[in-house]
Structure 1
Amino acid sequence: MNILAIGAHFDDVELGCGGALARHVAQGDDVYVFVATVSGFTNQYDQSVRSNEVARVEAEAAMKIIGVKEMICGDFKTLEVEFVDSLNIQILKLVESLKIDTVYAHWTGDIHHDHQAVARATLHSCRHVPRLVMYRSNWYHSTTDFRGNFYSDITDFWDVKEQAIRAHVSEMDRTGAKWINFFRNEAENAGQRIGVKYAEVFEVVKWLQP
């Protein structure tokens, strides 16, 4: 199968579906990743937190760890992504040229501005893809409940996921590696619900059994 994971920023797919992607690679599927933004950003005091160049280098290292066949990068600025036709067209062209069977997308209920815009664009542009599930890549509250109802056993791939997350050294330094603890706990809790050690859980938009 040809798999496409779509994220707003470098590190989103690693956090949200990195284990599932590593599992796909191990099964022989071709995995592609599209990231909409250049992913550098400044804080509220106009201080640079991560440059575009650093973000890209870290992402390339993470993709190599997972085994992604190709990472395709958009040129939107961080926090300036909108649900516009230029984004829709980028995604649609990838879906058609790569003959994508399955898509991993941001959750539409995510309150992060960029995540929400990319989620809407994905649902719009992947309307003819037979399988699409949504992931969460942060811990922010939303007024909408994430209805996780589709699981991927990542017990054998948690270490790959963690290494890919840790490849984002600038983010690890900024957050004190809090993402690792949070997502490990999420994976343990999801795994407990289905009787495995670690799992990722997704919300199904559509799933045509291959």
Structure 2
Amino acid sequence: MNILAIGAHFDDIELGCGGTLAKHVANGDTVYAYVATRSGFTNHQNIEIRSDAKATLEGENAMKVLGVKLIKGSFKTLQVEFTDDLNLEILKIVEEKKIDTVYSHWMGDIHHDHQAVARASLHSCRHVPRQLLYRSNWYHSNLDFKGNFYVDISNFWKLKEKAIQAHESEMERTGSKWIEFFKNEAKNAGQRTGVDKAEIFEVVKWLD
């Protein structure tokens, strides 16, 4: 299979579906990741928190851990919109790589960039037979994440964790909070399905 994971920033994909992608790679599938932004950002005081160059290097290292082929976009962080520029960039990848399974942001995510990328993914991947949505942060939304598709990542959690840790600047900023949160999520999802750890997705469509 040809798999495409779509994320707004370097780290979103690793957090949301890193274990599943590593499992696809182990199963012999060809896996691509498209990251829409250069992913550097400044805070509300206009102090640079992470440079584009640092974010890119960390993202490249993370994808190497997972064994995923990285496709880099050039949109600016916090300035991603649901436009033809983004739609056509995703559609081009889908057609050129003959993608048959897509993982992308959940539509209910409250992050502006995540929402825009989610909408573009649904639009541009409408002819792809299988599409699943993932969560990549811990913030509340006024919508419910309808997690109804589970992937056993018990044997791939360590790779997911290593990929997250590749984002050294974010680890320095947040400590181990990300890893603790997503490890608990994976354990809880695993407990519901009778495995050690799992990733959970909301199904848009699944054609066998």
TM-score in terms of structure 2 length: 1.00
Q: Distance in 2 between matches of 1:73 and 1:133?
A: 21
**Structure 2 residue runs without a partner (length 5+):** none
User: Amino acid of the residue matched to residue 167 of structure 1?
Assistant: A
Corresponding residue number in structure 1 for 2:34: 34
User: Amino acid of the residue matched to residue 7 of structure 1?
Assistant: G
Corresponding residue number in structure 2 for 1:182: 181
Structure 1 residue 168: deviation in Å?
0.1
Q: Distance in 1 between matches of 2:175 and 2:108?
A: 26
Give the secondary structure class of the aligned counterpart of 1:202. Answer: strand
Q: How does 1:36-185 map to 2 (within 5 A)?
A: 36-68=36-68, 70-185=69-184
Alpha-carbon RMSD across the aligned residues, in angstroms, is: 0.4
* Structure 1 residue 25 corresponds to structure 2 residue 14: no
Structure 1 residue 36: deviation in Å?
0.4
User: Amino acid of the residue matched to residue 27 of structure 1?
Assistant: N
Q: Distance in 2 between matches of 1:111 and 1:57?
A: 26
State how many pairs are aligned.
208
* Structure 1 residue 199 corresponds to structure 2 residue 205: no
Structure 1 residue 50: deviation in Å?
0.2
Structure 1 residue 177: deviation in Å?
1.8
Query: What percentage of aligned pairs have identical amino acids?
Result: 70
Structure 1 residue 29: deviation in Å?
0.1
Q: Which runs of 4+ in 1 moved over 4 A?
A: none
Q: Distance in 1 between matches of 2:200 and 2:175?
A: 25
Deviations 1:109-144 (A, max 9, x none): 001000000000000000000000000000010000
